[in-house]
Structure 1
Amino acid sequence: MEQFVASLPDEKKPIAQQLVATMKEMMGQSFDFKSMKCSEWKGYRFIPFFQAETARRAFENYEFEENTILLASYPKTGTNWTAEVIRQILYGDNERFSALSKALPPPLTALEIWRPEKLDLLEHIPLPRRVLLTHLPEELVNYEKLKKKNGKVVVLVRNPKDQAVSWFHFTKNRHFDGLRDEISSDWNQFLSDYVQGKHPMITKPGQWYPDFLLGWNKHKDEDNILFLVFEDMKRDPQKEIRRLANFLEVELNNERVSSIAQSTSFDSMKKAADAGAVDSAQVHKSLNMMRKGQVGSWKDSFTVAQSELMDSIIEKKLGDTDINFTYVL
């Protein structure tokens, strides 16, 4: 992270240093997560550290750079995995850009995370192409502004049963201590509340994951939108890496495709996170970002009745779309 701070103009370094300090404090054991509260914008409730004011500023004031890539995902659908694949597609063959992209503080490139002032840093990232992340619903992203700058959006899709289980385990982390009254640690209660849209996941009351997909699905036939499926990435990573690279208009030879597939496999990324090999890996380890990364592990948690209930809810929400899920490989 210090490498990124050093690359900034002097007048921008203080806010970047504050961001780095906050990240280091959060990775320690003394940070008071219980004091963090939800915020709200346009009826959407934001989980702590995801800030409504930052999202508003991004929508109203942030100017996307030409050819920006936006990775739009709901939590626990493969965000960090896909972000690393994109990073390696863009910068894996350039030692300097690769090192710098690894050194970026993870909250910096997420549109809605941390304080609004951080948005002023984005234009100073010394990389040839901007990659931004967001968990925001389509309504809260200034998509038309992005489109005018020839931006591209990668939307992640993962089956909702595995996503729910992954979200359940993730919320057990101390980073959710301020939400214990809203997000249950009991699986049965957790799932019941979740599918009723009671979790403040940058959603309106009554909304959850399928509503996020519905928003972005309005643009599914546009040339600058790619829906990338978690299970397809697991089934045939090299095929999906080529598809993603083609969408991003980056040429990759077979050797690089194979190398990216190997270095972004779950085992490889888990080892990097456990070792804290780079700054972003240290954050992923601290936040327990990587648990299993499997397809079908939902069967260890769902009862038959719970599985049938989710099938029914998904059919009601998405039955009129062409969005389909793969629940086992």
Structure 2
Amino acid sequence: MKSRVFHLLILIVALFVGADALGCMKKVCGNNAQNEFRRCPDTDGSCGNYHTERSSGEIIDGVDVRCHVGEPIYAPIEGEMYFWRPFGNKREKSCADHGVRIEGTGQWQGYAVHISSVKLSFYGGHVEAGDEIGEALNRYCFNDRGQHDVEPHVEIKLYKEGKLIDPTHHLQNCMCTGQICESNSRNTLLGDPFKTDKRFNGVRGWDIECQMINDDNEDSPRVPMIYSPIAGETVGRIRLFTDGNGAYTGCDNDGIFIVGIDDWLGFEVRLYNVKARADIGFGRKRIVQGEPIATRLDCDNSPDSVFLEVRFEGRVVNITDIITADNCKMPNFPVF
């Protein structure tokens, strides 16, 4: 009884919190909820997009997020925060030579974000994505000419394993699926991505690691929750096979079918080796991305994984990059 109550409390908390969107950054500045970039071209012909020319004539592998002086700055990822000087301690640029480096942890392990120019409220420690960390400075306070007409902004650079990458679709229109299994924050795959699996009638998709969870105050491990990878409507259960009488039987003969809505319109998702939440039932039920919708099966033959199949307009499609969060831009699928 104690175990059932504990598991129910975990589900209730998860319904309110959901899963973090793997690969998608939080709002960076004040009221700029969509992380919009400054004009391109701006008044001086420069641009705030990735790998474009700035006012100095330099090509920058970063982006300029629109942000007025004095507006609050938020941590876009979770991690360890460090003070950083974006202008390399140059005396003539000291008024703007303040910034932050966040070394990612959790889902963002291996990533780092640099933001300049920011007056920090504190100078180190762990931050969660969305925490307020300071306020925007005037990036051109040292220059009395030209650049004061440029739209105010902070510059952001994103590193992965020490290499600069394009943060655009991690900041804007982020279409990564988010975390799928509670015990696998980075959607680690088993075996090759986008592979055929005979356990599930030879469908093609992704075998996502999903280990049992050992809670500190529980004697036995519990099944992990499964989060919806897309916004959609649950259509019903997936039953892979029947017995000799045509009946669907077997503990491990279960899954869930989701039809996409909103940004995910045209997509269909099938998750195998999962059991839908009891209150979802058999009719259509609208769900949001990241909502806990199921638990992993715990049968004699259940693997420590869940299998994901994705279709777009009826055809099986490869979206490996937006599952692993390597690139959160929706692929351009061919038109048939």
Tell me the TM-score range normalised by the shorter chain: under 0.3
The structure with the larger Rg is 2
TM-score, length basis structure 1: 0.23
TM-score, length basis structure 2: 0.23
Q: Whose RCO is larger (CA < 8 A, sep 6+)? A: 1
